[in-house]
Amino acid sequence: LRHKNLDEWAHTKVDAWGEVASLGVNLPEFQGKGLGTVGIIRDISERRMAEKKLKSELEAKNVLIKEIHHRVKNNLQVVSSILSLESSCVSDEDARTVFTDCQTQVHSMSLVHEQIYRGSSLEEVDAAAYLTRLAEYLDSVHEGSFKGIELKVRAEASNLALDKAIPLSIVVTELVSNAYKYAYPDGRTGTIRISLEREGAYYELLVEDDGLGHEAGAKGGAKAREGLGLELVAALAQQLGGSLKRTSGEGTRVSLRFPCAASA
């Protein structure tokens, strides 16, 4: 900073808040000798202490939020375990299937909270990491009953907001479970694919299989359950502010396009 009248340089020190912490101005020389420097110094100790306190409180808040997500995850897993125990006591096959489906959905939601707890963000999840983890879980659930079916995931490295991740987890779980149950009757083998890509301000989720088409595998009570599942998917698509498209024939393809930003 150049002094207007004395044509000397002032040396300033600015604190992190953008306010002057100290100011020094060199006085002009008199008879070849410098007269010294005029300085103003302001004590910013209280502001620094307040800054440290605020930082400490923020860190404590973040730890608390992570702990909440951890407890929510644990509680959801307890609910999942209860559903599993109850299903083992049910003799009716259709009723047992309903219990198992509910258990799978609850556990898939718990994985979102696990991802938040283990991740660096409290508001977003790594979409690729989460879908990979979810696919591993869904494969483990169905591999005992459906041999020779491969589940593949392709997702861009992007962050997914928590209010998008929860309904999306239910959608993916429902669509993948339907593909396992209805696309490959009579022990057929094949591949189920999950993909998530970002296109500008939108995400596009795609779940597809190379089976015979769900109409061939879903009959009677199974067809009714699939219909209810698709109603749930449609409702969640609306919640996400997205559009849903489904084609079925030689394989089934379901796409969900929804905005990245929160719905109004």
**Residue 13: what pLDDT?**
54
Q: Does residue 5 belong to any structural domain of this protein?
A: no
Q: What is the pLDDT of residue 10?
A: 42
Within a domain: residue 194?
yes
| Residue 178 structural domain | 123-259
| Per-residue model confidence as pLDDT tens digits over 118-143 | 877 778 889 999 999 999 999 999 88
Residue 109 in contact with residue 76, Cβ under 8 Å?
A: yes
Query: Does some domain include residue 72?
Result: no
Supply 130's token pair.
């989460």
pLDDT given at position 223:
56
Cα separation, 10 vs 8, whole angstroms:
7
What's 229's domain CATH number? 3.30.565.10
Q: Indicate whether 27 and 127 sit together in one domain.
A: no
Model pTM score:
0.71
Same-domain pairing of 242 and 129: yes
77 with 113: CB under 8 angstroms? no
Residues 137 and 247 in one domain: yes
Q: Which pLDDT score is estimated for 9?
A: 43
pLDDT digits (tens, 9 = 90+) for 159-187: 888 889 999 999 999 999 999 988 888 88
What was the pLDDT predicted at 22? 61
Low-confidence spans in the chain with pLDDT less than 70: 1-25, 30, 34-35, 39-43, 214-226, 262-264
Contact 3, 9 (CB under 8 A): yes
Beta-strand ranges (E) seen in the chain are 10-14, 20-26, 29-30, 33-34, 37-41, 124-126, 149-155, 159-161, 190-199, 202-209, 243-249, 251-259
Task: State residue 222's pLDDT score.
Answer: 56
CA distance 154 to 204: 12
DSSP strand pairing (190-199 vs 149-155): parallel
Count of domains forming the chain: 2
Can you give the pLDDT at residue 132?
A: 94
Q: How far is CA 176 from CA 86, 120, 208, in A?
A: 24, 28, 8
Question: Distances in Å between the alpha carbon of 11 and those of 5, 38, 162?
Answer: 16, 11, 48
Can you give the pLDDT at residue 50?
Answer: 86
